[in-house]
Amino acid sequence: MLRRIPLLAIVVFAALAGPAAGAEDGPKKGKAPEHKQTQSKSYIMVDPIYTTIVADNRAAGMLMIGAGLDVPDAELRDEVDRSMPVLRDAYIRNLMTFTANMVRTDAQPDVAVIAERLQGVTDRALKRKGARVLLAQVAIRVTAKK
């Protein structure tokens, strides 16, 4: 009799779990919700940009820039989407020069200068104005000295 109780418990558990497992295998209704950074249709996120801070001929840290673009014009927004690889390349090149000349690990960089530089790069790359750079984050990570 004692051997039948665990067997009965397994059978009851399997009977209860059966319909729940089958319900998950059913057809999906609609597609999965899309993750959005914002509710604004005009916002385009730019992947974070990292550049190396050099001091005494060695890597002393990293500068990280998080930004996005506000592009109200739908036609220009399509152009920005297509041009994002070119824009990112221009941003990285410009910020590498800025980091090499202006950024030190003992002081926070001037975010207004960074925003102006990125805005200038954006306007030149797109050959017109209309995409506004929005800085989300500027951070420095200092590498430990060895």
Q: How many domains does the chain have?
A: 1
State pLDDT tens for residues 80-127. Answer: 999 999 999 999 999 999 999 999 999 999 999 999 999 999 999 999
Asked if the structure places residue 116 within a domain, the reply is yes
**Other CB atoms within 10 Å distance of the CB of residue 54:** 14
Asked if the structure places residue 49 within a domain, the reply is yes
pTM: 0.71
State pLDDT tens for residues 37-77. Answer: 566 789 999 999 999 999 988 999 999 999 999 999 999 99
Q: How far apart, in whole angstroms, are the C-alpha atoms of residue 146 and residue 133?
A: 38
Asked if the structure places residue 19 within a domain, the reply is no
Q: How far apart, in whole angstroms, are the C-alpha atoms of residue 21 and residue 26?
A: 9
| CATH number of the domain to which 91 belongs | 3.30.479
Asked if the structure places residue 18 within a domain, the reply is no
- Could you tell me the residue range of the domain that residue 91 belongs to? 43-142
- Give the CA angle between residues 101, 61, 111 to the nearest 5°: 55
Asked if the structure places residue 28 within a domain, the reply is no
